[in-house]
């Protein structure tokens, strides 16, 4: 499989593969989403592709999608929907504005269980974060996703030592080039 960047307008031609990878990955623990969540993700992806700074990478081989990653630029006015309000509450306005606004936000990263172990996750992550402004990139994940957290730590990401309120048990991770993550 090879990883390549894909324009947002091209994503619909890969929708079936993206849907399947999403369903396979996020129906597993700790996410435990209904497999139909893949349909909702593909619908959301069409809107996400219109976000400023949107970028997507796909792992492709033999006509199949083995994984994908998406990211976009976090707006200068920090959003309040989804989990953003909880992140703002945990970090406070100064850190949100200085660390996250204008930074590249990794939204999703998923590698099909059948394609794991070949470095695709790292290649997908690298592809979507390569152009992060001043190395500033961030993401949210669950503290219950232990394998995911280990993956990001191996990739040089740093967990912000503040818990995000809410039932999801989310944590903020800063990319290896993020100024706030440097010692």
Query: Which percentage of the chain shows pLDDT scores above 70?
Result: 99
- Quote the pTM value: 0.94
Per-residue pLDDT, 79: 92
Per-residue pLDDT, 78: 94
Check: CB of residue 124 under 8 Å from CB of residue 152: no
Secondary structure class of 84 (helix, strand, coil) = helix
Whether residue 30 is preceded by a cis peptide bond, meaning omega within 30 degrees of 0, is: yes
Per-residue pLDDT, 183: 65
- Asked if pLDDT for residue 138 goes beyond 70, the answer is yes
In the chain the beta strands, taken as DSSP E runs, fall at 2-6, 55-61, 64-73, 104-111, 137-142, 158-159, 170-174
The 10s digit of each residue's pLDDT in 30-64 is: 999 998 999 999 999 999 999 999 999 999 998 89
Q: Which two tokens stand for residue 1?
A: 């499989």
- Asked if pLDDT for residue 139 goes beyond 80, the answer is yes
Q: Which two tokens stand for residue 66?
A: 């083995």
Q: Among candidates 179, 97, 73, which has minimal Cα distance to 135?
A: 179
């Amino acid at each position: 499989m090879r990883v390549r960047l894909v324009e947002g307008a091209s994503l619909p031609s890969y929708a079936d593969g993206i849907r399947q990878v999403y369903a396979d990955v996020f129906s597993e623990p700790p996410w435990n989403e209904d497999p139909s969540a893949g349909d909702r993700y593909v619908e959301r992806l069409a809107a996400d592709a219109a976000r400023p700074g949107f970028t997507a990478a796909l792992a492709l081989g033999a006509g199949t999608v083995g994984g994908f990653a998406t990211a976009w630029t976090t707006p200068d006015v920090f959003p309040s929907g989804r989990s953003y309000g909880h992140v703002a509450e945990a970090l406070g306005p100064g850190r949100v504005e200085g660390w996250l606004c204008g930074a590249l936000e990794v939204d999703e990263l998923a590698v099909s269980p059948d394609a794991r172990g070949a470095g695709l996750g790292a290649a997908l992550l690298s592809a979507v974060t390569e152009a992060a402004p001043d190395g500033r990139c961030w993401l949210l994940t669950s503290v219950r996703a232990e394998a995911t957290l280990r993956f990001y730590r191996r990739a040089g990401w740093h967990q912000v030592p503040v818990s995000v309120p809410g039932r999801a048990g989310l944590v903020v991770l800063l990319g290896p080039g993020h100024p706030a993550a440097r010692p």
